[in-house]
Structure 1
Amino acid sequence: MRETPADSLAWFAGRWDAPERLAVPLDDRGLNLADGVFETLLWRSDGPVLWPQHWQRLQRGCALLGLAPELDPGPIQALAAEGFRRLGSPSGQAALRITVSRGPGQRGLALPQPQQPRLWLHLHAVTPCFAPVDVITSRLVRRHGDCASSRCKTLNYTDAVIARREARTAATDDALLLSSSGHYCCGTAANLWIRQGMDWLTPGLDQGCLPGIMREQLLRQSNCREHPVSRHMLLAGGGFLLNSISCRPLRSLDGQAPHRQLSPQEAERVFKQLVVDASRT
């Protein structure tokens, strides 16, 4: 393993090393069919943020796909803590990704018997981001609330890649995805929140957005609730994109600035308060 500090570190099959030095076998169904799930969470010097909630969502995703990962989260958390110490992030923070694939399989969709799920970890040194974003409305990708895969973080992120490429082609940072009903749903990798008066609104899960862990935390506040989000509402109130690593204000939508905008400082306060609240639960 490399001796000098690095910005990322991974674990697979009992070994910590640089990610580029580790290899998942080419018969893995996660690689060939996106047959698996993952979680990404913030790890700080005082420990993981909202570990139980992330682990529960990972378990729900595994149950949906019929996977059976390590049932006891304790060893995985201890392994991740070791990786965090090895990484030595300069900011004292890292993004931890836990990936579970169905494991080896033959050609085709038939489920292998017996199944041998694989798990690997990936740590990246990070500093949570609060920079404003310019977004477009994706014309190529839509979310569907009645689709089972919208409920968990599967390895299939092709739609998000397509929409993000669409945004970059338009010289913007990200794309907002519409639901099949025509309302705004989410960003490519974050939940959408908009302001309406003194309240904060986010699309309901029936719109096809991922049940985000930080989204769930924010919904516990009395002035936060689910509500369909239209273009008019978004441009009138402004908003932000929220995930476990960032809270980014919307600076423009399709080249038009919202009438009200959240500052990076306000977004940082929202994020940090959620992290503080998480540490108390």
Structure 2
Amino acid sequence: MSYINFNGQVIPATEPCIQTNDRGLTLGDGLFETILIRKSSIPALAYHWKRLETSAPIIGLSIPFPSNTLETMLLALIEKNNLHDKIAGARLTLTSGNSARGILPAPGTKPNFFISVFEHAPLTKVDYSAVIVRIKKNEHAPSSRIKSTSYLDNVLAKKEAVTQGYDEAILLNTANHIADGAISNIFMVKNQHIYTPRIADGALPGVVRTILLDEFSNAFSLTEKSMTIAELIDADEVFVTNALMGIKPVTKLQDKHFMQFPCALGLQAALRERKDYL
């Protein structure tokens, strides 16, 4: 039997807990984090917490626990589900809570949260492809900067890419610049310089993206910039990042194939050494 944490209580995963008037369910009014847990170590927890603290005020949410309580709940759930010696993932979902029907929450509505954990098998396939899809990201919307439970554009973008035989979808913004992937941030390498789209261009402030910019920018000449389709396709390397995948080289972009990834693999090794990441 597997277990989840709902509002601070550990319960069987099969036990009903979400009510039909939860605004995360009915309106997508909430946030989520997907967190890597490696043998009871949480290498990027501080970065997940920082994003949660930054995102919650944007949608008027209060976080009903401090960061140290989140760590305690995550590790207790890992232990309860017998994942303490494994590579695992956790999904934290925070909603604006139960409220009467209507677009705005009733006064005094309290947030709900639930946490689930799962064994995570790192992506081992060598080939990883990406394609630019028709769905665009509105870089002017507040939702472009948060990990919102309203994830339909990402779902549809991913479906479009997979239908075409690709692994990941790349979304453009309204100015036709590169924003990010359906489940990832995107990076390109040109002449040993690494670039990634700006938050202002619609890039989600992903956790691994933030770690790389904060801790590796100088050693690897890594900067943010607006990025055109032509620049991306003309890159020497392309790679994507997310919290569970870490750094993944893209071997095919549109119809272009990439064969060597010295910058991506070097950065991957540095991330593994410093943060005990994948």
- Under a length normalisation based on structure 2, what TM-score does the superposition of the two structures give? 0.88
2:69 and 2:223 map into 1 onto residues whose CA distance is 36
Partner of 2:133: 138
Partner in structure 2 of residue 200 of structure 1: 194
How far apart, CA to CA, are the structure 2 residues paired with 1:84 and 1:271? 26
- Pairing of 1:72-87 with structure 2 (within 5 A): 72-87=66-81
Amino acid across the alignment from 2:229: R
Q: Helix, strand or coil for the counterpart of 1:48?
A: coil
Residues 37-83 of structure 1: per-residue CA shift (max 9 Å, x gap) = 11111111251112122112112211111111224222221111011
Q: How does 1:79-158 map to 2 (within 5 A)?
A: 79-89=73-83, 92-129=86-123, 131=125, 132-139=127-134, 141-158=135-152
Whole-angstrom CA distance in 1 between matches of 2:115 and 2:268 = 25
TM-align CA RMSD: 2.2
User: What amino acid maps onto 1:17 in structure 2?
Assistant: P
Tell whether 2:15 aligns with 1:17: no
* Whole-angstrom distance in 2 between the partners of 1:170 and 1:23: 38
Distance 1:159 1:278, change over 3 A: same
- The equivalent of 1:226 in structure 2 is 224
Amino acid at match of 2:73: L
Q: Displacement of 1:91 after TM fit?
A: 6.6
Residue of structure 1 equivalent to 2:256: 256
Distance 1:234 1:75 in 2: 41
CA deviations over 1:151-174 (Å, ceiling 9, x no partner): 111101000000011112112112
User: Following TM superposition, by how much is the alpha carbon of 1:278 offset from its aligned partner in structure 2, in angstroms?
Assistant: 3.5
CA shift, 1:113, in A, is 1.5
Q: 2:271 aligns with which of 248, 260, 274?
A: 274
What's 1:47 paired with? Answer: 41
Larger CA deviation: 202-211 vs 46-55: 46-55
85-94 vs 52-61, which moves further: 85-94
In structure 2, the CA distance between the partners of 1:123 and 1:46, relative to structure 1 (3 Å rule), is: closer
Query: CA 1:261 to 1:144, structure 2 compared with 1: closer, same or farther past 3 Å?
Result: farther
Number of corresponding residues: 269
- Cα distance, 1:149 vs structure 2: 1.1
CA positional deviation for 1:217 = 1.4
State the AA in 1 paired with 2:223.
R
Q: Which runs of 5+ in 2 are unaligned?
A: none
Task: List alignment gaps of at least 5 residues for structure 1.
Answer: none
Sequence identity (%): 24
Task: Give the equivalent residue in structure 1 for 2:153.
Answer: 159
Name the SS for the 1:47 alignment partner: coil
TM norm structure 1? 0.88
